[in-house]
A and B are shown apart, each in its own frame.
Chain A
Amino acid sequence: MDRLYCAHLGAVRQLEGMELGQDIDEIQSARGRVSKDDSLPLVSLQNVSLGYDSEPVLQNVDLTIYPGDLIGLAGPNGSGKTTLFRAILGLLPILSGTVSRNCPLSNFGYVPQSAALDPQFPLSTGEVVEMGAYGRIRPYEFFPAAEKKQIGEVLDQVGLRQLAARSFFSLSGGQKQRILIARALMVKPKIMILDEPLSGVDEESRKTISELLVGLTRHSGLAIFFSSHDVPMVRRVADRFLRVDKGKIWWEKKGVELHP
């Protein structure tokens, strides 16, 4: 994946003066000045085939994700976006090829589609975010005060601290997505994978979430890989983006489509 670039710390500092609410395109143009990074990739897929019951859904996938990357994955429903994410997260065994990860799975922040979560569960927003810390707490431990403080901080990051006591499933679609992002942040991730974070949310929430994702890569060097079936939105938000359709996956550069 020679076309991959990395967000490098020096370049990130150039962006620090910008506010989160700044226009995304402006941020993206600043990102364009980011140079290549030679650091170790977080995830690397080489000639991977993915599918269910030996039936391939995606074939010949080559992908490398570096720290600070903001990669979008666009494609129609059922094209294999979630399948790819699940393979990266180790939730789905690959049919062939190699997947290598340079950080433990507990450093992966995963934001599923909120519709995939069961609304039957009586969970407060705070409890949902708290789950992100469970990997660090042993069964016999009380929930540490430092982690409680961390919950407040990540809720501040997504701008929803005031909703901590509210029922998670009573929130709007956009609020739910931001809470799930806060939960993923609670994991203290090196890479965050978001499955359709912009689906089922209003325009205002789309903008807020997009700004949040860009801000996260800008401020913390976090690698973000997200999917959407809204191609223009992915094109606008991501540094680079992949297209997936009919069992094939290829890179697209802004404005130019590069088929494999």
Chain B
Amino acid sequence: MSTFLEILSPSYLLFPALLGTAILGLVCPLIGSYLILRRTVFLGLTLPQIAAAGVSFTFWLQQTGFFPQWQQGERGIGMIGSLLFTFLGMGLLGYLEQRRKGIAEGRLAAAYALAGALTILFIVFNPAGQIEVLNLLKGEVIALSKGELRLLATVFGLVLVGMLLFRREFLLTSFDRDLAFLLKGRQIIWDVLLYLLAGVSIAFGVIMAGPLLLFGFLVLPALAARPLVNNMSSFLWLSSLLGLAMAVFGFYSSVRLDLPLGPTDVTLGCCLIFLAYALRRISPRRALGLIVLSSVALWTYGCATPTAPLPEAKALNNQTLWLAKVKNSTGLSLLLPATNPLRSLAEMAGKISSDYRQSVMDLLRDDLRRELEQRGFRVTLPEQTDSRFPAFPADTGNAVRLAREGKLSGLIFVSEIWRWEADSRQFVRVFADFKIVRTDDGSVLWERRIQRAVPTPSATNLGQAYTDSVKEIVRDLFAG
């Protein structure tokens, strides 16, 4: 289990993803602040949805063979659609605003509904790439590569510079358009520039982080900062700071608890808003004290070693350790893909069964056995005494009952996989329990729960991704 300090280390495998989220958290609230102050917050909701429609549209076009010669990566193609649709959407909404057609909120609501519908329809039209498109739209920022991080840093760095450089013009145009006209001439230039920066951020942000997380970063930190400040410069820097905190703590919670990043961050952002309104009710000194206390508590929790290390074999009097089969409770077969093409064909034709293929459970058990033996444990497999032994559940009572029924005495190592999902071959989401139980009295001598996204950056196929994640889990399990 990763500690808070671990995820902040540049050597951490998901560090590029953390950095990407932090960049989004830092820059997006600056744009969102102006959207809120201009009372165009729904634009921040509608534009990401329009960008998402652009992503699914370009994937559909690609599937129909419209871009056969393009050798772009998934995100590259998505980005083109995202940018195109965002600026088209902004242009259309701006045109309707100028013409004053209908109510502003009505236009945004209709555009949001239409974009949402089109996103789904384009996905449905494109059955071949549904999973890829859905993954992109979920915005798996966790799978961000170093190249994508560089692009994100460049784009958002430019947006940040633009926001800082023209902050006075943006403020003046947003607050008092008449004075802006008198002092700076036609304010349309500043409106266009602000929406251009917003559009670029949204188009890139959607493809990197998904519409939900992006909308969260745009508006939630600014909404949380608003009740705590009474001047514009504090508002902007506090929004940015809260966005950064939301990004880092959200990322940490997501990795540690194996929760999807977007919803985790958004929930955290909403908590920040409630906290901000609560803090406003108490004196600044008390509020500061409360923040310091909470930070210390969070830090202590985050840095604490989560579980005890595996006891040494000697400490357990060199008792026999029964290594039970790994129980698969995922509902999936978790078989590794076949490496022999002839066998694959025969399997597809129904000539042979899939039993010849190794499963994740087999891999995991082999690695566990090797690791335990290296640590001096006398490892025995229950099926060596009776081949009918099933996989043992991680539930202590049931595991002990099974062991007693099978007349196994000593210690039993049980493992159960609850979740095992490969996501874009960049990482595998794992939720599994491991325990060493004494069969005589049913006491649990050691237990660990692995619940996280295991990165598999060097995997080129699913089998390799599974193998790499098994190795990573076993390493993590015995690291203490």
Contact = CB atoms under 8 A, between A and B. Distances in A.
Contacts of B183: 106, 132, 134-135, 187
Nearest to A112: B178
B241 to A, nearest CB: 15
Interface string A169-196: 0100000000000010001000000000
B429 to A, nearest CB: 41
Contacts of B230: 122-124, 166-167, 170
A96 to B, nearest CB: 22
B172 A131 contact: yes
Interface in A117-134: 117-118, 120-124, 126-127, 131-132, 134
B337 to A, nearest CB: 57
Nearest to B226: A122
Contacts of A106: 182-183
Nearest to B234: A122
Nearest to A120: B37
A226 interface: no
Contacts of A127: 231-233
A91 interface: yes
A47 to B, nearest CB: 25
Interface in B212-255: 226, 229-235
B222 to A, nearest CB: 10
A126 B174 CA distance: 17
Interface size band for B: 20 to 34
B235 A122 contact: yes
Nearest to A105: B182
A122 B229 contact: yes
Contact of B182 (A108, A120, A123, A165): A108
B169 A134 contact: yes
A121 B232 contact: yes
B33 to A, nearest CB: 9
B104 to A, nearest CB: 15
Contacts of B231: 122-124, 126-127, 165, 167
A73 to B, nearest CB: 17
Given A123-B232, A167-B230, A131 B182 contact: no
B168 A110 contact: no
A118 B175 contact: yes
Interface in A69-114: 86, 89-91, 105-106, 108, 110, 112
A258 interface: no
Contacts of A183: 179
Given A131-B172, A137-B168, A187-B183, A110 B234 contact: no
Interface string B164-194: 0110110110111011011110000000000
A134 B182 contact: no
Given A120-B37, A134-B169, A110 B232 contact: no
B39 interface: yes
A53 B211 CA distance: 40
Contact of A140 (B37, B165, B174): B165
A225 B325 CA distance: 90
B165 A139 contact: yes
Interface residues of A, number: 31
A112 B226 CA distance: 25
A127 B175 CA distance: 11
Contact of B169 (A117, A122, A139): A139
B266 to A, nearest CB: 23
Contacts of B171: 131
A139 B176 contact: no
Contacts of A91: 178, 181
A190 to B, nearest CB: 12
Nearest to B175: A121
A160 to B, nearest CB: 16
A135 B173 CA distance: 12
Which one of A89, A134, A137, A187 has the highest number of Cβ atoms from chain B below 10 Å of its Cβ? A134
Which one of B172, B179, B229 has the highest number of Cβ atoms from chain A below 10 Å of its Cβ? B179
Contacts of A110: 178-179, 182
Contacts of B165: 139-140
A124 B236 CA distance: 13
Interface string A19-43: 0000000000000000000000000
Nearest to A165: B231
Contacts of A134: 168-169, 172, 183-184
A112 B176 CA distance: 9
Given A131-B175, A140-B165, A90 B181 contact: yes
Contacts of A121: 37, 174-175, 232
A124 B235 CA distance: 11
Interface of A: 86, 89-91, 105-106, 108, 110, 112, 117-118, 120-124, 126-127, 131-132, 134-135, 137, 139-140, 165-167, 170, 183, 187
Minimum-distance CB pairs A-B, first 9: A135-B183, A167-B230, A124-B231, A122-B235, A105-B182, A139-B165, A122-B229, A134-B168, A139-B166
Interface of B: 36-37, 39, 165-166, 168-169, 171-172, 174-176, 178-179, 181-184, 226, 229-235
28 contacts: A90-B182, A91-B181, A105-B181, A105-B182, A110-B182, A112-B178, A112-B179, A117-B176, A118-B37, A120-B37, A120-B39, A121-B232, A122-B231, A123-B231, A124-B230, A127-B232, A127-B233, A131-B168, A131-B172, A131-B179, A132-B179, A137-B168, A139-B165, A165-B231, A167-B231, A170-B230, A187-B182, A187-B183
